[in-house]
Amino acid sequence: MKRTILVTGGNRGIGLAIARQLAELGNAVLLGSRDLMAGENAAKSLRSLNFDVEPVHVDLNDAAAIDDAITGIGKSGRQIDTLVNNAGVLHEKPLLELTDAEIGDSIAAHLTGPLRLIRLLAPNMIARGYGRIVNLSSGWGSFAEGMGGPGMYGVTKAALNALTVRLAKELPSAVKVNAMCPGWVRTRMGGDGAMRSPEEAADTAVWLATLPDDGPTGGFFRDRKPIEW
């Protein structure tokens, strides 16, 4: 069945690979990006392959912009079945050296922005009896792996993991919410020396975004396998 899927941070890297793979499966993809022109260019590149992809301006630092984006999607007649919270930021500084803006940026990208989107979209998912929410997290935000993320990155990814667990307890089983770690990926954030391609990293997100009715919820995955929090 064709689903409508919103992917944040979809204009490059892992997000673009997720958008492409979901579109290849026949889904309608709303490609969210903070930079609207970058999103339009990315969507155009996928539409040239005859995929159903439309750009959407989604700035996780701006609550009003998030609200406007979802309102605009609703007015277009689209109902979002699946949300992939992929957008992220990395400020490689110790906590005590971060500016207020950098701290706020990390919290918005990894916690309050995703939560606002979920609050806006989950009620309709519940009403329709179907929903999939995928939170792009990281082993750098895992206590089991030593909370290795620098500065606010690991802290806010840990918060995103906690949000995933809490939501799984509150949402009905028809609306599945899971977190995943893509690994060390060759993106602008991960650098050229990373071990994995964006396409490889996207696989688990696509799997979670298209889970069957008996699929898991409230889990943390890498390479489609559960990992420790």
114 vs 184, residue with greater confidence = 114
Residue 170: inside a domain: yes
Q: What is the pLDDT of residue 164?
A: 98
Q: DSSP for 161-219, please give it.
A: HHHHHHHHHHS-TTEEEEEE---SBSSTTT-TT-SB-HHHHHHHHHHHHT--TT---S-
* Whether pTM exceeds 0.85: yes
Residue 57: inside a domain: no
Residue 55: inside a domain: no
Residue 157: inside a domain: yes
Listed range (101-105, 112-116, 122-126, 180-184) with the worst mean pLDDT: 180-184
Residue 87: inside a domain: yes
Residue 59: inside a domain: no
- For residue 146, the domain's CATH number is 3.40.50.720
Task: Tell me the pLDDT tens digit for each residue of 106-142.
Answer: 999 999 999 999 999 999 999 999 999 999 999 999 9
Catalytic center residues: 153
Q: What is the pLDDT of residue 193?
A: 61
The answer to whether 178 and 135 are in contact (CB under 8 A) is yes
Number of compact structural domains in the chain: 1
Residue 19: inside a domain: no
Question: Mean pLDDT across the chain, nearest whole number?
Answer: 94
User: What is the band of 9 on the pLDDT scale with cuts at 50, 70, 90?
Assistant: very high
Q: What is the pLDDT of residue 198?
A: 77
Residue 47: inside a domain: no
